[in-house]
């Protein structure tokens, strides 16, 4: 019996939506490692550069922090990512496992000569994407032609933010004061995607399709941030920050592609799909652009602080962002976070947190294969040890001699459900659905595939105060 081999093309991922998580949150700062990210009103570390620049004004001693040395494990289930359109349909297993170990943030902060003015600088990796996909599906026995499908793609995506911020307090009374801050980030975005596919019908006697792609992009841009923290009464903290979208003003692009098709014997010569074709392309370009590539956001936090520790709830609204040139269509949406820290001893704190991480995708239609629309819910547990007291209102005075050493460990679990763009492979030779889905212009060969993602992350943080 003759056998057909079909390999579906898993094309270039839309970068900001092809991740286990969706938002641009960074595990930056010991307070984030401890509570999981509900810090807009209470942040007192270098994480202020990311979450609320006003928090820099709480710093009393020069400090260096390295946080987010993250071990991230993802288990992905999306059976049918490749579906062969036979009767009955044949689906790929759709099981994936990804591991990454990546430092996310390093910050340095200090007082200036005007002791009321604080400076912070930091390097953040905000949108880390690592994914390796291999898929296969085999048509039912007795199909004519028989079909077996394979697919492979390796992708990585990073946003590097080089951030500088200033903050100051408008009152020296610790019981009632207002903190103001702002920051500007220089942004470098990098992507690389390698993918390949081959389709054989009856060992190429009934048709054959091949394609491959290597694509890299580097973009340079900036982002602006501003924030305020207000202490109306001694136990209450209110935080508000605004982050503008990240705009890229220059881009370097390189890609190489190849495509070939061979129709089955005996097809009508005048049929466009019956033409034998082999083509390829290569390009290297650098150009000025004005692309919005990360959505802006508005953060609001409310916290209660006591001798026992603190508890905070945050709401984060992400603004809508559309950018046709890079295939982004993000909806406006709201995420929530809650976090608390309990003082066990003067040196040890325990933290708990919970969060939502909803999908930014406005619609799956028109997106490339393997792009996801998945909503996440998660919990966080953290523990922190320090030889200095850790509290938003009790930072170690600058006059105290000796190094302040702190270390934090956080464990994060998230579960996500939604859809992934899959590819419907025709049971007979027909390259048009394959091409249209891959190009994301007329996705007649695409279909939504139910997806589950389980993610566990182990986050580490270190701080030295001089």
The pLDDT of 156-176, averaged and rounded, is 83
Q: What is the pLDDT of residue 27?
A: 78
Number of domains in the chain: 1
**pLDDT(5) > 80:** no
Whether the pLDDT of residue 152 is over 60: the answer is yes
What are the tens digits of pLDDT across the range 328-351?
A: 788 899 999 999 999 998 889 999
pLDDT tier at 305, thresholds 50, 70, 90: very high
- Window from 64-68, 174-178, 380-384, 452-456 with minimum mean pLDDT: 174-178
CATH number of the domain that residue 132 is part of: 2.40.160.60
HEC assignment per residue over the chain: CCCCEEECCCCCCCHHHCCCCCCCCCCCCHHHHHHCCCCCCCCCCCCHHHHCHHHHHHCCCCEEEEECCEEEEEEEECCCCEEECCCCCEECCCEEEEEEEECCEEEEEEECCCCCEEEEEEEEECCCEEEEEEEEEECCCCCCCCCEEEEEEEEEEEEEEEEEEEEEECCCCCCCEEEEEEEEEEEEEEEEEEEEEEEECCCCCCCEEEEEEEEEEEEEEEEEEEEEEEECCCCEEEEEEEECCEEEEEEEEEEEEEEEEECCCCCCCCCHHHCCEEEEEEEEEEEEEEEEEECCEEEEEEEEEECCEEEEEEEEEECCEEEHHHCEEECCEEEEEEEEEEECCCCEEEEEEEEEECCCECCCCCCCCCCEEEEEEEEEEEEEEECCCCCCCCCCCCCCCCCEEEEEEEEEEEEEEEEEEEEEECCCCCHHHHHHHHHCCCCCCEEEEEEEEEEEEEEEEEEEEC
Residue-number span of the structural domain to which 108 is assigned: 5-465
Among the ranges given (16-25, 312-321, 383-392, 408-417), the one the predictor scored with the smallest mean pLDDT: 16-25
Each residue of 268-296: pLDDT tens digit? Answer: 556 665 677 788 888 888 888 888 888 89
């Amino acid at each position: 019996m003759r056998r057909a081999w079909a390999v579906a093309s898993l094309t270039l991922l839309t970068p900001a939506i092809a991740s286990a998580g969706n938002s641009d949150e960074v595990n930056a700062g010991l307070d984030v490692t401890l509570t999981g990210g509900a810090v807009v009103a209470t942040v007192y570390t270098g994480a202020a550069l990311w979450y609320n620049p006003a928090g820099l004004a709480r710093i009393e001693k020069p400090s260096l922090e390295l946080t987010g040395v993250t071990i991230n494990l993802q288990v992905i289930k999306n059976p049918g990512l490749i579906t062969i359109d036979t009767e009955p349909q044949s689906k790929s297993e759709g099981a994936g496992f990804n591991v990454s170990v990546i430092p996310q943030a390093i910050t340095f902060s200090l007082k200036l000569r005007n002791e009321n003015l604080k400076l912070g600088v930091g390097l953040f990796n905000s949108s880390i994407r690592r994914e390796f996909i291999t898929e296969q599906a085999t048509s039912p026995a007795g199909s004519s032609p028989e079909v077996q499908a394979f697919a492979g793609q390796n992708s990585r995506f990073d946003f590097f933010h080089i951030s500088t911020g200033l903050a100051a307090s408008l009152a020296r009374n610790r019981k009632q004061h207002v903190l103001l801050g702002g920051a500007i980030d220089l942004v470098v975005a990098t992507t690389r995607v390698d993918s390949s596919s081959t389709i054989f019908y009856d060992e190429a006697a009934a048709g054959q399709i091949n394609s491959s792609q290597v694509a890299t992009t580097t973009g340079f841009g900036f982002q602006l941030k501003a924030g305020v923290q207000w202490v109306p009464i001694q136990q209450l903290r209110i935080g508000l920050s605004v982050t503008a979208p990240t705009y890229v003003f220059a881009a370097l692009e390189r890609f190489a592609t190849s495509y070939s098709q061979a129709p089955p014997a005996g097809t009508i010569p005048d049929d466009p799909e019956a033409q034998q074709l082999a083509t390829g392309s290569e390009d290297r370009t650098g150009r000025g652009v004005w692309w919005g590539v990360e959505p802006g956001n508005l953060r609001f936090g409310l916290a209660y602080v006591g001798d026992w520790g603190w508890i905070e709830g945050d709401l984060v609204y992400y603004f809508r962002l559309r950018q046709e040139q890079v295939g982004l269509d993000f909806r406006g949406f709201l995420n929530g976070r809650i976090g608390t820290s309990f003082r066990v001893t003067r040196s040890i704190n325990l933290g708990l947190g919970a969060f939502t991480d909803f999908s930014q995708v406005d619609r799956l239609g028109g997106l490339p294969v393997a792009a996801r629309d998945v909503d996440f819910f998660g919990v966080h547990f953290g523990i922190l040890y320090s030889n200095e007291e850790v509290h938003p209102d009790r930072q170690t005075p600058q006059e105290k001699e000796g190094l302040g050493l702190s270390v934090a460990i956080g464990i994060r679990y998230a579960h996500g459900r939604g859809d992934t763009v899959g590819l419907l492979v025709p049971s007979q030779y027909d390259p048009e659905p394959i091409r249209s889905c891959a190009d994301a212009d007329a996705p007649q060969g695409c279909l939504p595939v139910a997806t589950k993602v389980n993610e566990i992350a182990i986050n580490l943080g270190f701080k030295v105060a001089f």
